[in-house]
Amino acid sequence: MTVFDGIAARIVSTSRLRVNILERTADDPATPAERTVVFVHGNVSSSLFWQEIIEDLPGDIRPIAVDLRGFGGTEALPVDATRGVRDFSDDLHATLQALGLGAVHLVGWSMGGGVVMQYALDHPVRSLTLQAPVSPYGFGGTRRDGSRLTDDDAGTGGGGANPDFVARLAAKDASDEAPTSPRSVFRSSYVSADYVTANEDVWVESMLSTVTGEDNYPGDGTPSQNWPGFAPGARGVLNTMVPRYFDVSGIVEIDPKPPILWVHGTADAIVSDASAFDLNQLGKAGVIPGWPGEDVAPPQPMVSQTRDVLDAYRAAGGAVTELEIEGVGHAPHLERPGVFRRALLQTIGYIGSPTGPQPPTEAIILKSED
């Protein structure tokens, strides 16, 4: 595991499993919870992706990045998809308990955004930062209001993963010899075309830490009479986010309401109103034959769904800041780290001056090319 200077990995034994975390070696474990920020990665990634932002946070903040089960250095226990993402969020809670932490600031990326929203439904949190989060209604198979397209959620879940991509993950293929290699997928889908970094090998290493199989990534599937001919199973990562098992729109009702920062890029290929990973979108585009049409299988408006739920959260008294960044892909913290850092510090009530913490600002919409 490639960790940057000043960052260390360690295993935390919890009541559920052994969890790998990253933390800065100079940080004080006695840092209060109001200055503790816990980062949760997304699908096909790990805590390694958070290292640049961890390095850049002020010294009196304690950042901790957690590996979910089956990713990074955390134990690869089976994932029960019938619980939605609760296996992941319950693991996170057990980890924070083992570290002696109560309510902290949570940052979730992609699938990790769903994990921290589920966590907030079950436990108190100080704030939520959602970076390119999965829709509150899951990934694929719903109309804008969250209603399901079919009774079996056809076209979603484990059966939708590209088998060559899965095989290359399992083989630890770090090449860029095929469009389905993890490195090629990182370049085409995780970031925008103009992103350049000296750390790409670390990001690919993070992706290659993904444990593959029906109990982990991508999960299992079942046949379906509905287009495109398969439906989700009950095991594994992708099935945790199908609409029959996953719905965190109930965050609108939680009380008290932590401030929420929603960060997303306009060039995101994964979480979008026209996602390249949505089978219905691919059918509409003619990539998958036999698409039954907009009335039967419309693409999922993922960003619009998130905005609707967060608008309702705001209307119910919650503070929401939407940071939409022009031309940025699925990883704003990599592509615009300064913009992401400033917004995060504002959300957690930290301004880096002698005046100390301040309350979060009112809800605004920002667009930035900084």
In order of their start, the domains of the chain are 7-151+245-368 (3.40.50.1820)
Residue 363 scores a pLDDT above 60: no
Calpha distance 196→304 (Å, rounded): 29
Calpha distance 370→154 (Å, rounded): 40
pLDDT tens for each residue of 261-296: 999 999 999 999 999 999 999 999 999 999 999 999
Provide the token pair at 194.
């103009």
pLDDT-based confidence at 180, cuts 50/70/90? very high
Mean pLDDT of the chain: 94
Rounded alpha-carbon distances, angstroms, from residue 154 to 182, 206, 220, 297:
26, 30, 13, 9
Please, which residues have CB within 8 angstroms of residue 18's CB and are 6 or more apart in sequence?
11, 12, 74, 75
Provide the token pair at 249.
């729109």
pTM (2 decimals)? Answer: 0.94
pLDDT tens for each residue of 239-249: 999 999 999 99
Residue 18 scores a pLDDT above 90: yes
Residue 370 scores a pLDDT above 90: no
Rounded alpha-carbon distances, angstroms, from residue 223 to 139, 157, 309:
19, 12, 32
Calpha distance 176→295 (Å, rounded): 38
Give me the helices (H) in the chain, please: 51-56, 86-98, 111-122, 163-170, 182-185, 200-208, 279-284, 302-315, 332-335, 337-347
pLDDT tens for each residue of 60-108: 999 999 999 999 999 999 999 999 999 999 999 999 999 999 999 999 9
Q: Could you give phi then psi for residue 281, rounded to 5 degrees?
A: -65, -40
